[in-house]
Amino acid sequence: MIAPANPNKAVILVSGGLDSATTLAIAKSQGYACYALSFDYGQRHRVELQAARQITNQLGVIEHKFIQLNLDNIGGSALTDMRIEVPITGITHQIPITYVPARNTIFLALALGWAEVLSAYDLFMGVNAVDYSGYPDCRPEFIMAFEKMANLATKAGVEGHPFKIHTPLINLKKTQIIQAGLRLGIDYSLTISCYQANSTGYACGVCDACRLRAEGFRVLGIADPTRYLTQSL
């Protein structure tokens, strides 16, 4: 596919998972000059950063920046405090302990800083509020409030270059996200969604992220390229 001409730069948050890979492919398909940003934040599933690197290599970006940030210094989540176990019994209606306090606010804030330096006024984030873990900072009302805040916070924002936070997946089902990504040529075997993937990239198969991902492929009847340690629990 030939992307439409688009002279604009965009900063895309790339975790290494399925959703952010799809988001990057969408930004590419819209012709943006893509700058990928990943965070080495003390996450349990740090192996996802290798996936992030493979994804940006496959899809192609102008630059891929990694920011180091010790959120394990703050803790308070099963993803940043190794003493707290990742739940494996299925998705509930409560905000789970894998919620990382203020994570998307922190990630978007850093993306905003880099975007302003780049004169990139478009930010892309693969948040989803349908097939998700119930995190408050994945919802449209959060994204809208962040965007409004960003345009009061920055020199660019107050001088007539407003930032736009694009969340192309926010209202999609996991099946729709996978279909969109496959149409755009993503190799999902490169991506890692699992909250506790091991150091060789094998997924647990039973955390919320694994369940949401596996269910998406299952409903579509498409072979799931994820390398699972177990699928039988």
**Contact footprint for a copy of itself (CB under 8 A):** 65, 67-71, 73-76, 95, 99-106, 108-110, 112-114, 116-117, 136-137, 139, 141-142, 145-146, 148-150, 152-155, 157-159
| CB nearer to a copy of itself: pick between 94 and 199 | 94
Distance CA 32, CA 34 (A): 6
CB-CB contact of 117 with 126 (8 Å): no
Check residue 105 and give left, alpha or beta (phi > 0: left; psi -120 to 50: alpha).
Answer: alpha
Residue 81 assigned as binding residue:
no
Residue 223 assigned as binding residue:
no
> In whole angstroms, how close is the CB of 174 to a copy of itself at the nearest point?
23
Residue 21 assigned as binding residue:
yes
> In whole angstroms, how close is the CB of 159 to a copy of itself at the nearest point?
8
> In whole angstroms, how close is the CB of 100 to a copy of itself at the nearest point?
8
| CB nearer to a copy of itself: pick between 31 and 76 | 76
CA atoms within 13 A on the CB side of 175: 6
DSSP 147: H
At 151, list the tokens.
Answer: 């345009």
Neighbours of 116 (CB within 10 A): 19
> In whole angstroms, how close is the CB of 60 to a copy of itself at the nearest point?
22
Annotated binding site for ATP: 14-24
